[in-house]
Amino acid sequence: MLPIAIFCNHVLCKSNNGSDIQTFSWRDFNQKAVDTSRTPLEGFLGFSMLCGIARVVCSITFITDVLPTNYIYREMISDAQWITAQLAAYTYLAGVFRTLPRMAFFQPSENNTSICVPTMSLIKSLFWTMSLTLIIVAHGSSILSGYFRMKENKFLLDVFTTTRLVAYGISCILLVIGYGIYGRLLIDLTIQSFDLVQGQGGIAEACQETHITDVFRNEDGMEGRNIHRIYILSREGEKGEVETRNDRFKYHIRKMKIFNYSAIMTFVFWSLTSFVLAFWHDTIWSTIVLSKIQAFLANINTNLIFLVVLIGILQSELIHHKGQNSLDVTKAVVSSESSTFAYSETIP
């Protein structure tokens, strides 16, 4: 049962990792002007790829039984996948914190736009503090637990195994709070902003601006003016184009909801699992039925949630690029013209 679960995990991880690479490459191809190393979404995709690679390596290690007595290596490989997964979640949540203050300005005037969001300096401090603490505590505990497993010191092995699992549980609880409050807030603000724009008649209204650039008088006493007109045209298009734009927005909202709810459910599951394993790991891992159930949930259930999220993201991206060419929202047309009229001076 356990080898089958690990093999299925290996196949799903390769699928997830390949989808992450394709998504990252697609965004990099279409956003060459963006510094992808500093963008939260690209950082999230980067850590997700590292997580997929670590899970594939971990699966191959246990399937082929590589270095069966080197428990330090096995603990480090097993631990790397969970650290990169939580770092990916931290990076995405940092991007949410950076986006929320800007979204508050695009709400209706009767809405309360004062939201409690950390400052950029505090966000950076929290991100690096939580990331480094997780790496030092969790990864250090995994190395020490592997070392004391090799030394057959059961007491210290249990101590550092419990420490690592408790650190994961606390980190998952913090992520559940962050995604539950601020992830849902980002979705609500996005929906309200779209409703506000739709209520104003569209993204851009047709208008005209006229500027008189200069006035001159010719030899015949005719006065001329160079008039500079700028027309802002709104391409509301046919009904099908409007529906395509609305459908594209719905897919974006659905992508955000799927990702946010999936993240919340995943971290709730892993917070409960981490605390249960932290204090009863000997009983669970020594019982065949319980260990099989835990292995199935760990290797299959989580990856299926990841696949659902990736399908939602890719579907939204396809809808976005499908309607991008036909939804050129605004276009500026500049024209210059001269107007002349008779002008005569009255001589006293």
Give the model's pLDDT for residue 108.
53
Average pLDDT over residues 23-40: 45
Over range 205-229, report the average pLDDT. 49
The model's confidence at residue 196, banded by pLDDT at 50, 70 and 90, is: low
Note the pLDDT tens digit of each residue in 120-178.
Answer: 788 888 888 988 999 999 889 999 998 998 888 889 999 999 999 999 999 999 999 98
pLDDT of 170: 93
User: What confidence tens digit (pLDDT) does each residue in 83-117 have?
Assistant: 898 888 888 888 887 777 666 555 555 555 556 66
Where helices occur in the chain by DSSP H, the ranges are 2-30, 40-64, 71-103, 120-134, 140-150, 154-178, 184-199, 239-286, 288-296, 302-322
pTM over 0.75: no
Same-domain pairing of 254 and 116: yes
CB of 164 closer than 8 Å to CB of 142: yes
- Residues 14 and 162 occupy one common structural domain: yes
Shared-domain flag, residues 196 and 207: no
Whether residue 297 is found in the same domain as residue 219:
no
Asked whether the predicted pLDDT for residue 342 surpasses 90, the reply is: no
Asked whether residue 211 falls in the same domain as residue 77, the answer is no
- Helices 71-103 and 120-134 sit at what angle, rounded to 10 degrees? 170
Query: Does the pLDDT of residue 227 top 70, yes or no?
Result: no
Give 151's DSSP letter: T
215 and 195 together in one domain: no
Range of the domain at 90: 2-200+241-321
My answer on whether 189 and 161 are in the same domain is yes
Is 175 found in the same domain as 216?
Answer: no
Q: Which helix (H) or strand (E) holds 209?
A: strand 207-217
Q: What is the CATH number of the domain that holds 301?
A: 1.20.1070
Number of domain units in the chain: 2
